[in-house]
Amino acid sequence: MIARRTLLKTGASFAALPLVPKSLQAAAPTAEVIEARLAQAQIAPEGYPLTQVWSFDGKLPGSEIRAPQGSRLTRTLVNALSAPTSVHWHGIRIDNAMDGVPGVTQSAVPPGETFLYDFDLPDAGTYWYHSHNQSYEQVARGLHGPLIVEEREGPDVDRDEILMLDDFRLDPETGQIAGFGNMHDFSHAGRIGNITITNGVFNKTLQARQNERLRLRLINVATARIFDLNVQGLAGWVVALDGMPLDTPRPLNESLLLAPAQRIDLIVDVTAEDGSAAHLVRIEGDEAFSQVLFEVRGVAATQPRGTPSPLPPNPDMVVAGLDGALQSHLQMDGGAMRGFASARMDDRKASFREAAENGQFWAFNGMVGMPEEPLFVAERGQTVRVTLQNDTMFPHAMHLHGHHFREVHPDGTLGPLRDTLLMFADEQREIAFVASNPGDWVFHCHMLAHAASGMMTRIKVLA
């Protein structure tokens, strides 16, 4: 990576070079480009000004990437922004060097430079990619896109729709993204937007037919908002969470919480009549809004279909050996209204007030921000259990890189595979996973303002 950069820098006629530098073409002749750059998007309703966003490939969300399970994905990131950036492939059990975390797995890619991402896709499912540099700002400005890994044999559906749920905080006069220095966001629930969108637009509308069967891939790319969702005029099942299939499809009969970074795959039948409408409904308090409107025109079948079969499981996902597991604990403190008595920050002891003066508000195990030492070091293949204690006043969406885990319920049963766990205030939860993927993996809150103001640690899995 360093060598490539040097090559680029010393290349006498950079302007005359093709977009993908020769050195990279030689390494991976087929690498397509993913370009981080400015773009304009109609986020606010028609009639409001366009919003300048930071995008992948000029689109909001960024280009849809679809690839078959078991294939290799190669993309050359070209940074055409004026800030350094990187790409993290969220939820992929990826080769550590390709994980896209500046300061841990690579350096941030400076403006005008490139980085080759090249990795295997072991698991089918719904994933996404996003900037992992200054991510509380860069993801909120639009640096994210969907990554779909297709099953060798997909489910029996008529259509597959990706629905990326997001929010933006816009200045209503200018339509531009509001600034990022707000300490209230860091110390409270994160940066909640004032406009809620799907696939980059307000009032997303899709066409559908009565009794059509749809696979809906919901992805929450907002940096802080927890979506509380339901359906109307649709009936169906949850078939996967965070990309990973459920053993048995779960009937959709209550509302679903989708925390930042989480995904839910639904298989639904359109039960609304021809000429009417169906909705993905967003619930806020006792109000309900149409997050996605389905205009029902025509009839796909005279009857809905029966319960779908489960999606095929991904390989090597058994979490065994809980009894002899390595045990770890993550104590979560800080934030408005509770704070902490003191915590280590930059190698010194800091009071909550001193931390706050430096824009830091949260601590994991008494440490503000990325610690010198990992939370734990596991042997490759070792089973690990981590208890998480949220002693703050806020919910947090805890994301572990490079692995999926299962929740260990108090009665000893295991929950579904996930890569992001939503925890409410004062909850204690436990997760377990097999540390099968060597490397340094960050473990952080996906309310990204929290990650930037203290909620960040990492684990190490030996090779």
Residue 10 main-chain phi, psi, to 5 deg: -90, -10
The smaller minimum CB distance to Cu ion, of residues 185 and 212, is found at: 185
Residue 132 touches which of Cu ion, ligand C2O, none (Cβ within 5-8 Å per kind): ligand C2O
Cβ neighbours of residue 395 under 8 Å, at least 6 residues apart? 189, 226, 259, 422, 423, 424, 425, 447
Residue 447 touches which of ligand C2O, Cu ion, none (Cβ within 5-8 Å per kind): Cu ion
What letter does residue 323 receive in the DSSP assignment?
Answer: T
The smaller minimum CB distance to Cu ion, of residues 143 and 445, is found at: 445
Contact positions vs Cu ion (CB under 5 A) = 396, 445, 447, 450
Residue 90 touches which of Cu ion, ligand C2O, none (Cβ within 5-8 Å per kind): ligand C2O
Residue 444 touches which of ligand C2O, Cu ion, none (Cβ within 5-8 Å per kind): ligand C2O
Residue 282 touches which of Cu ion, ligand C2O, none (Cβ within 5-8 Å per kind): none
User: In this structure, are residues 368 and 444 in contact, taking their beta carbons and an 8 Å threshold?
Assistant: no
CB of 375 to Cu ion, least distance (A): 16
Amino acid at position 354, single letter: E
CB of 126 to Cu ion, least distance (A): 23
β partners of residue 39: 53
The smaller minimum CB distance to ligand C2O, of residues 188 and 444, is found at: 444
Contact positions vs ligand C2O (CB under 6 A) = 88, 90, 130, 132, 261, 399, 401, 442, 444, 446
CB of 261 to ligand C2O, least distance (A): 5
CB of 455 to Cu ion, least distance (A): 5
The smaller minimum CB distance to Cu ion, of residues 260 and 308, is found at: 260
As a dihedral over the C-alpha atoms of residue 204, residue 209, residue 212, residue 217, rounded to 10 degrees, the angle is: -10
CA distance 277 to 369: 47
CA distance 378 to 386: 12
The smaller minimum CB distance to ligand C2O, of residues 240 and 300, is found at: 240
CA distance 266 to 258: 13
Residue 406 touches which of ligand C2O, Cu ion, none (Cβ within 5-8 Å per kind): none
Full strand arrangement of the beta sheet holding 159-168: 195-198, 159-168, 213-220, 263-270, 234-241, 244-251
CB of 151 to Cu ion, least distance (A): 32
Angle ∠(120,123,126) on CA atoms, nearest 5: 110
Cβ neighbours of residue 410 under 8 Å, at least 6 residues apart? none
The smaller minimum CB distance to ligand C2O, of residues 21 and 243, is found at: 243
CB of 445 to Cu ion, least distance (A): 3
Residue nearest to ligand C2O (CB): 90
Cβ neighbours of residue 23 under 8 Å, at least 6 residues apart? 3, 4, 7, 8
The smaller minimum CB distance to ligand C2O, of residues 261 and 268, is found at: 261
The smaller minimum CB distance to ligand C2O, of residues 249 and 374, is found at: 374
CB of 144 to ligand C2O, least distance (A): 9
Residue 396 touches which of ligand C2O, Cu ion, none (Cβ within 5-8 Å per kind): Cu ion
CB of 187 to Cu ion, least distance (A): 11
Residue 450 touches which of ligand C2O, Cu ion, none (Cβ within 5-8 Å per kind): Cu ion
CB of 407 to ligand C2O, least distance (A): 19
Cα→Cα distances 427→256, 334, 404, 422, Å: 19, 14, 21, 10
Structure tokens, 63: 């280009």
The smaller minimum CB distance to ligand C2O, of residues 99 and 212, is found at: 99
User: In this structure, are residues 462 and 196 in contact, taking their beta carbons and an 8 Å threshold?
Assistant: no
Which of 252, 236, 251, 234 shows the shortest CA–CA distance to 293?
234
Residue 263 touches which of Cu ion, ligand C2O, none (Cβ within 5-8 Å per kind): none
